[in-house]
Amino acid sequence: MDLKFKKAASPQDFDAVAALADEIWHQHYGRFLTKDHIDYMVSSFQSADAVAEQCANGAEYYIALADGKPIGYIGLEFPPDECFLSKLYLRKSMRGLGIGSKMFDLAEKLAKDHGETSIMLHVNKYNDSSIAVYERRGFVKKRDLVTDIGHGFVMDDYVYVKKL
């Protein structure tokens, strides 16, 4: 398999991220969030327009391509001293092949390239499988975080940090 990463920069790229988000989020989060909650988060934060706006405000998205086909994506923000890994999603059929590790490696490289000294992320408290992956990658739980995202929904997360 030929694995490449492409920085999202065009309307077609933003559409690809949005399509991946719709597929992956419903499949993954359906175990512990309602469909309405997932629909709201995807439309609010991962629509093509929302991704384009985030990129216009300094976020960077990278699409993972296997043999030229989109299979996952990363979203990063670079405030001073601590990279925020806001998104790291991979199609279920592509998990267990080492691709997630390559995605983490890219996120760490990009954070270092931006002069960051650590990477921070938020993870849903009930997302046991992702929490296990983050801890294996050296992330440490720092605190709880509950965020009101509107329409009666909250994000009930842990904040994890990894020093670079």
Distance CA(15)–CA(60), nearest Å, equals: 15
Summarised one tens digit per residue, pLDDT across range 38-87 is 999 999 999 999 999 999 999 999 999 999 999 999 999 998 879 999 99
How many structural domains comprise the chain?
1
CA-nearest of 99, 51, 100 to 75 is: 51
- Spatial CB neighbours of 10, under 8 Å, sequence gap ≥ 6: none
> Is the distance from CB of 5 to CB of 62 less than 8 angstroms?
yes
Distance CA(78)–CA(120), nearest Å, equals: 10
CA-nearest of 147, 127, 24 to 75 is: 24
Instruction: Say if residue 153 is exposed, middle or buried (CB neighbours under 10 Å; 0-12, 13-18, 19+).
Output: middle
78 SS3 class: coil
| Residue span of the structural domain in which 78 resides | 3-163
Per residue in 20-45, is it b (16+ CB within 10 Å) or e — as a string? bbbebbeebbeeebeeebbebbbeeb
Average pLDDT for the chain: 96
Q: Which helix (H) or strand (E) holds 122?
A: strand 118-124
> For the domain that residue 153 is a member of, what is the CATH number?
3.40.630.30
Summarised one tens digit per residue, pLDDT across range 5-51 is 999 999 999 999 999 999 999 999 999 999 999 999 999 999 999 99
